[in-house]
Amino acid sequence: MSSPPFLFPLQKKSMGHLIAPSILSGNFANLITDIEMLNQSEADWFHIDVMDGVFVPNISFGFPVMEAINKHTLKPMDVHLMIVNPDKYISQFKQAGANILTVHLEACTHLHRTIQAIKAEEMSAGVALNPHTAVNDLEDIITDIDLVLIMSVNPGFGGQKFIENTYRKIERTRNLIEKSGSKAKIEVDGGVNIDNAPKLIEAGADVLVAGNFVFGSDNPTQSILDLKSV
């Protein structure tokens, strides 16, 4: 049954989405300042990018840094693994403080098994898709997962240019979630800023990751609030 249009204006709900600043763009020589800023800000999650130099052409950081962050953060750690063989390290990521653990579909031969292993450690389970990977590839796993991470740049680096096809991809993911009855949230990661954020929310994104837009700004706390207020 369709509802009268005045009850559901086309303008998207405000403040319903989550913001996950990516610490990858923080100051690694003084992370405590960035952590405390995020703790005091409107940020919902800490987005933690782990890169192995194999799955992506860059190496970021590993367990010691995550453990150090975990000692100070007051918010959930949203860990995005850009590594091959993530199964090997699932319990270690749990011990290092991960609350949400996201693996790349392209890095998992037995994705269903990997998702079950993440859930067995009592973490929320996410699946990330590279820009070239079809949303349809999630069809048989969508009801098992808590998060779909749509990459809006090729993974590996902060500060890259947003890929415009992402809007359509988010819409397709939203359709798949609704059709299947999945409860998964949609997270978008890469090149997010105040100009594309409204359109991303409108397309169906629940969580916006932002690195350069937050940490490259003069006032990161305000930039987070700006994204949250879209």
Point out which residues bind ligand DX5 (CB under 6 A): 22, 24-25, 47, 49, 80, 153, 155-160, 189-192, 209-213
Active-site residue numbers?
A: 49, 189
N residues, the chain: 230
Nearest distance from residue 21's CB to Zn ion, in Å?
A: 11
Q: Which of 20, 25, 38, 80 binds Zn ion (CB under 5 A)?
A: 80
Asked if residue 226 binds Zn ion (CB under 5 A), the reply is no
Beta-strand relationship, 100-104 and 46-51: unpaired
Cα–Cα distance between 34 and 41 in angstroms, integer?
10
Cβ neighbors of 169 (< 8 A, separation 6 or more) are: 129, 135, 150
Region binding Zn ion by CB under 5 A among candidate stretches 30-38, 46-54, 118-126, 178-186: 46-54
DSSP letter at 134 equals: -
Span of 33-41, 76-84, 89-97, 156-164 interacting with Zn ion by CB under 5 A = 76-84
Question: Between the CA of residue 25 and those of 39, 90, 125, 160, what are the distances in Å?
Answer: 16, 24, 24, 12
Beta carbon of residue 160, minimum distance to ligand DX5 (angstroms, whole number): 5
To ligand DX5, the closest distance from the beta carbon of 113 in angstroms equals 24
